[in-house]
Amino acid sequence: MQKKPLWTKDFISVSLSSFFIFFTFYVLLTTLPIFVVDHLEGSEAQIGLVVTVFLISAVICRPFTGKWIEDFGRKKMLYFSLTIFLLSAVFYMGIKSFPLLLLLRFIHGIGFGMATTVLGTIVADLVPDERRGEGMGYYSMSMNLAMVAGPFIGIMIATKTTFTILFIICGIAAFLAFILGFFAKFPDQVEGPVKVKEKMSFKSLFEVSTLRIAAIAGILSFSYAGLMAFISVYAKQLGLVEAASFFFVVYAVTMIAARPFTGRWFDIKGENVIIYPGMIIFAIGLILLSQVQSAGLLLLSGAIIGLGYGSLTPSFQTVAINQAAPHRRGAATATFFTLFDGGFALGSFTMGLFAASVGYAKLYLYCGILVVLTLPLYYFLHGRYSSQRQKRKFDN
């Protein structure tokens, strides 16, 4: 039987829209600290607030977005969220004070949280059911590639030109995200029970069936936050600043190289074939990172982490979507990213306090141990049930 097409025009448009959203996010994530210190004369505490406020607003709005997708449809929610994201990106050019920057970051976080939730829901509708693991894996590459391109281009522009030019580029990227999303064609609603006006409640905001896998993803995101937040400082401490600039490049290369295989294996053999090895490889990468003394080892740890963690995120998201009924994919996506982003935000804050007392090397060692300890938790919460389903599938 011929496979249903995956790389349709609309799938590519939605994936590119996601890329430009995350590109804008990562450009600002890595350059706003410089802007706060050099142009607004801010402190280290204020730098942390710029990141935290954005993440908090993104996390808060996600559960509501999942419900609104069901109530108002995917198209209205996508156009609305992309408009907020675009206008927020444009207004950075007019910021002259720290309080205004915080307000803009809060609004921008809402646009980001809503847009990424809607896009994740839409792409789950667009990919064929039997190729969802493969499709979600390729879609998540838009985030991973933006994570490499955003910081690299952002820091280069911020250090060699002006922040006006940087903010213009962010505005252009947000505009491209808007255009690509606007012209993509996708189902506005999917089949489900007849709509009844439902009161705002925990069950209406969160998809209960995805909570367990989302909790596992949140724990691993908590560990990953330490990597994102402190890798440059850790490398500087070791005298490996130049090598650090290539860390995420190597990460991306191994992730991209593995993606065509991991997505297909997920669809054919089930999630456990990807998730168990992915968690072990991720843990090995973090533990190796804690022992780094040379540029070669630093880059090797980046390659290993890219292979491990790079395979986990799309797998967890696919499981979350597969657990839910089609008409609840919006809520499932929102639930997943609420816990995923929540873990990242909590990790960014907690790891900073922890690193101050134990140092970066031990921080990464403990993060690796936490990932290992999450393995039995995954087994009890989800893995054992997946094994039983897969066994029944092959028996039949």
Cα 249 from Cα 275, distance rounded (Å): 23
Length of the chain: 396
The tens digit of pLDDT for each residue in 150-208 reads 888 887 888 888 899 999 999 999 999 999 999 988 776 655 554 555 566 666 677 88
Torsion of CA 203, 207, 208, 214, to 10 degrees: -140
The reported pLDDT for the residue numbered 22 is 94
The reported pLDDT for the residue numbered 221 is 92
The reported pLDDT for the residue numbered 194 is 46
Among 156, 354, 146, 134, residue whose Cα is nearest residue 251:
146
Q: What angle, rounded to 10 degrees, do the helices at 132-160 and 9-39 form?
A: 30
Q: Phi and psi at residue 4, in whole multiples of 5°?
A: -70, 145
| Residue 73: both structure tokens together | 């449809």
The reported pLDDT for the residue numbered 1 is 47
The reported pLDDT for the residue numbered 79 is 94
Cα 280 from Cα 283, distance rounded (Å): 5
Residue spans of the domains in the chain: they are 1-187, 206-396
Cα 100 from Cα 69, distance rounded (Å): 30
Q: Is 1.20.1250.20 the CATH classification of the domain at 1-187?
A: yes
The pTM of this model reads 0.78
> Across the 396 residues of the chain, what is the mean pLDDT of every consecutive 10-residue run?
75 94 91 83 73 86 85 89 96 92 95 93 84 82 84 83 93 96 79 55 76 94 82 82 80 83 82 93 96 93 92 88 81 86 82 81 94 95 74 54
The reported pLDDT for the residue numbered 388 is 60
Cα 69 from Cα 76, distance rounded (Å): 8
The residue assigned the tokens 């142009």 is 39
User: Is the CB of residue 109 less than 8 Å from the CB of residue 56?
Assistant: yes
Same fold, 1-187 and 206-396: yes
Cα 108 from Cα 49, distance rounded (Å): 14
Cα 271 from Cα 320, distance rounded (Å): 11
Q: How far is CA 323 from the centre of its chain?
A: 19
The reported pLDDT for the residue numbered 46 is 75
User: Is the CB of residue 74 less than 8 Å from the CB of residue 122?
Assistant: yes
User: Is the CB of residue 36 less than 8 Å from the CB of residue 50?
Assistant: yes
Q: Kindly list the distances between the CA atom of residue 243 and the CA atoms of 25, 234, 236, 368, in Å, as whole numbers in the listed order.
A: 23, 11, 10, 22
The reported pLDDT for the residue numbered 159 is 80
The reported pLDDT for the residue numbered 190 is 59
Evaluated on CA atoms 295, 297, 303, 306, the torsion sign reads negative
* CATH pick for 206-396 out of 3.60.20.30, 3.40.50.150, 3.40.50.11390, 1.20.1250.20: 1.20.1250.20
The residue assigned the tokens 């940087």 is 166
Q: Kindly list the distances between the CA atom of residue 218 and the CA atoms of 177, 215, 312, 341, 378, in Å, as whole numbers in the listed order.
A: 27, 5, 12, 7, 12
